[in-house]
Structure formats: C-alpha cells, structure tokens
Amino acid sequence: SKKVSHFVGILFLFQKKGLFKMIKKIQFFDTTLRDGEQTIGVNFSIEEKIAIAQQLEKWGIDVIEAGFPIASKGDFQAVQAVASSIKKARVTALARANKKDIDACVQATAPAIHKQIHIFIATSPIHRQSKLHMTKKEVLEKIKGSIEYAHHFFEIIEFSPEDATRTERTFLVQAIETAITAGASVINIPDTVGYTNPAEFADLFTYLRKNIPTFDEVIFSVHCHDDLGMAVANSLASIENGATRIEGTINGIGERAGNAALEEIAAALYVRKDYYHATDNINLKDTQATSEMISRYSKMPLPKNKAVVGNNAFAHESGIHQDGMLKNPQTYEILRPETVGGKSTRLPLGKLSGSHAVMEKLKEMGYPFDHESMKIIFPIFKERADKKALIDEKDLQVIMQQISEVKR
C-alpha cells in the first residue's frame, strides 16, 4: 500500500502542475439537520427533518448528518426517523469521544441501510486547555479509545479534530494518525471558527499529505465555518489539495455566521469543471427547490443577493448588462437559472436600464414598435424611472397611454 500511496502522490503532483488531469469524485456531506439546526431560532420538527432528508437525498447528497442523538430525546428520535426513511444516502450521527455518545448513535442509526458515525474531540490548545482541561496525551487516548469502541458497531468511522485549523500541525498529524490506526476511514478537517483562508488551508493539506503516509488510504473531508466569509472558498481550496468530501449546509445556515453553503460549492464545481476536474452526485436541477425548502422550514428568508439561489442571482438592471444579456446571455451569466432549477433570468427596468431592454419589454407586452417612437418613449421612461426604483408593466402602460394621447 506504500507503493500505491506513492503512485497516487506522484499523480497528484502532476495534476497540480497541470501535466495530468485526474477527475476527482467529490462526496457531499450535509449537516443542515445537525450543525444547521444550531442556528439561533431554528428548530425543525421531526416531520420537517424527514422531508428535508428526503429532499437532500433527491438532490444527491452522499452523507446526511441527521443529528446529535445524545443531545436530547427529540434529537435521538429525529435521527431514528431519518435513518428509517432514507434509502440511498448514508446516514450519520454525531458523538463526542465517549461510550455514552457512541451508544446513542448506535441505537439511533440502527434502522439505516447505509450508516457511519462521526466522532469528534477538540485538538487545539485553546480548546484543550480552556474547554476540555486535557493534556495532549489524554486527547490522544480519547481518540484511540472511542474509535476502537465504535469499530465494534460501525464499519465507517469519521473522525474530526475540532478546531483543526488552530491546532499545532505536529499534534494535528498525531491526532489524525491515532484516529486512522484505531480504525477511522474518514478524516474530517473542521475549520470550526472560520479562521483559515484558502491559501493557508491549501498549505495545511499539502502538509498533511506530506506528513501522513496513509493520507491516500482514507477519505479526507472538510467542514468550514463562515465567520470571515470564506467557508465556500476554503472548501474549494481543499478540493484542489486532496479533500474528496465536503461538509456544509443548505443556504449556509449554522452556528454563528453559518457553514459552507453546499449549493454554492455544487454550482462552483459545475461552472468551473475546467478548473476543478471534479464530478459529484448532485442533481443541480433540484437546487432551488432544496434551498427554498430549507428557507421555509428554518424561517430564514434568502437574502436577495444570495449566490445561486437568491432572487437577484439572475436579474440584471443596468443598461449595459441588459443589452449584453439580450445579445448573448453568456455575457453576464456564467450559470443559467434553469440549470439550478431557478426562476428565469429577469431584466427589471430601472433608471439604469437602456433602450434595448425597454424596447424588448414593450414588444413582449404587445406594443407595435418602431425605432422612431423609442426616441419619444425613452426620455419619458427615464424621467419616471428617476422617481421610482423599478418600472413595471403598469408604469409602461401609463407611459404608452400618455404618448398616444399627445399624438391624438
């Protein structure tokens, strides 16, 4: 296996240097029901959790984190209910590195056809000293003991060194190697407080690849938070550097500023196939519906300018942009709304709009048209648009009415 690992390492290096293009298969791990529910004010009912899990499965999620069974009776029951209703995706539950948490996961995930467990313990100095009151040695013992115990019940064990990006690199390697030796086959690198940046995260992956001889024998996953607005960028940087599983939530909901928004990562991998050379199981056409369901159940309206799924994501107001869009949509849209199951492109009319878009709108409304009349219509349109944020069909009807009265 050393030879295989060496070979994969060389392929990886060639790929980075652009000498060879290796298509990577990326797994999507959704934690909307666990980390997403840690959003202040969000509390999904069991029925909503089942509906969300089924929609996630339809969207193409590979692993669904259904909850943290030890946290409450309700969470335990929700994990059980999700585990019973999911057929294709793998269901996981979260556990701290102790037997009680693991036992709760064993029972709650029992009905699942495909399952795994997700065990975590913090490894950074601030967490070790101020939260856990544990030495490095004690943390390593906890990792070993909990993973060996979980191995009696689960074939697939995912281990997360919480706050990995603020952990000393040498200790992080020790923690990961302890987890792999004990039986973990998925290593998740959480950027728990959204501390890192894409270049630094890429460098961390290079370091891990160099210093963990079994790097290619396990799945490396990432779990990025958005405290500095870089969760999606950091996740994408990790894909370039060896991660093949991405964790996040729909609409990026989650603790504090939230988690990496999975719909944005899926869209980025699709739009920049030429760059990431990655494939996945996501059915992009179900993106908008998935996002709207989470927005509804979480009672968190989507920001209008939200990438990919926001109401303005495919709306163009300025004259130059509208003219470009009417000539060739690729001028200002790198992703078409129909690709993500979104509403169609809109060219709302406002004070910045140009005559081309106004003309097209009037044609669409059925007004007989010639360029001469536009010379009269357009200044009236501009005057009205200066006083009103958006000009709708009613406004245009009034303008056309005024003009026909003047002509008579």
Q: Which does 120 bind (CB under 5 to 8 A by kind): Zn ion, ligand KIV, none?
A: ligand KIV
Tokens matching residue 111: 């009905």
Query: Does residue 216 bind ligand KIV (CB under 6 A)?
Result: no
Q: What minimum distance in Å lies between the beta carbon of 224 and ligand KIV?
A: 8
Residue at token pair 């992009």:
284
Tokens matching residue 300: 């968190």
Q: Which is nearer to ligand KIV, 226 or 317 (CB)?
A: 226
How many residues of this chain interact with Zn ion, rule: CB under 5 A?
Answer: 1
Q: What minimum distance in Å lies between the beta carbon of 122 and ligand KIV?
A: 8
Q: Which is nearer to ligand KIV, 223 or 356 (CB)?
A: 223
Strand, helix or coil at 275?
helix
Whether the Cβ atoms of residue 27 and residue 269 lie closer than 8 Å to each other:
no
Q: Which does 160 bind (CB under 5 to 8 A by kind): Zn ion, ligand KIV, none?
A: ligand KIV
Q: What minimum distance in Å lies between the beta carbon of 254 and Zn ion?
A: 6
Query: Does residue 128 bind ligand KIV (CB under 6 A)?
Result: no
Q: What minimum distance in Å lies between the beta carbon of 35 and Zn ion?
A: 4
Q: What minimum distance in Å lies between the beta carbon of 247 and ligand KIV?
A: 7
For Zn ion, which residue of 30, 35, 101, 286 counts as binding (CB under 5 A)?
35
Site for ligand KIV in 52-71 (CB under 6 A): none
Query: Does residue 162 bind ligand KIV (CB under 6 A)?
Result: yes
Whether the Cβ atoms of residue 347 and residue 357 lie closer than 8 Å to each other:
yes
Whether the Cβ atoms of residue 308 and residue 269 lie closer than 8 Å to each other:
no
Whether the Cβ atoms of residue 255 and residue 222 lie closer than 8 Å to each other:
no
- For 260: left if phi > 0, alpha if psi spans -120 to 50, otherwise beta; the answer is beta
Query: Does residue 116 bind ligand KIV (CB under 6 A)?
Result: no
Q: What minimum distance in Å lies between the beta carbon of 243 and Zn ion?
A: 16
Query: Does residue 123 bind ligand KIV (CB under 6 A)?
Result: no
- Those residues with Cβ within 8 angstroms of residue 97's Cβ, 6 or more apart along the chain or in another chain: 119, 120, 121, 142, 143, 145, 146, 147
CA-to-CA separations, 162 to 123, 171, 241, 252, 262, in angstroms, rounded:
6, 12, 20, 19, 20
Whether the Cβ atoms of residue 137 and residue 178 lie closer than 8 Å to each other:
no
Site for ligand KIV in 171-190 (CB under 6 A): 190
Whether the Cβ atoms of residue 66 and residue 33 lie closer than 8 Å to each other:
yes
Query: Does residue 192 bind ligand KIV (CB under 6 A)?
Result: yes
Whether the Cβ atoms of residue 34 and residue 68 lie closer than 8 Å to each other:
yes
The DSSP symbol for 259 reads: B
* x/- map, 16-55, ligand KIV, by CB under 6 A: -------------------x--------------------
Closest alpha carbon to 341 in 297, 383, 286, 386: 286
Could you tell me the end-to-end alpha-carbon distance of the chain, in angstroms, rounded to an integer?
88
Query: Does residue 234 bind ligand KIV (CB under 6 A)?
Result: no
Query: Does residue 120 bind ligand KIV (CB under 6 A)?
Result: yes
| Helices and strands in the chain: count of H runs, count of E runs | 16, 10
Q: What minimum distance in Å lies between the beta carbon of 162 and ligand KIV?
A: 4
Query: Does residue 30 bind Zn ion (CB under 5 A)?
Result: no
Q: Which is nearer to ligand KIV, 242 or 254 (CB)?
A: 254
Q: How far is CA 362 from the centre of its chain?
A: 40
Q: Which is nearer to Zn ion, 35 or 226 (CB)?
A: 35
**Can you give the binding site for ligand KIV, defined by CB under 6 A?**
35, 94, 120, 160, 162, 190, 192, 223, 225
Residues at the contact surface with Zn ion, assessed by CB under 5 A:
35
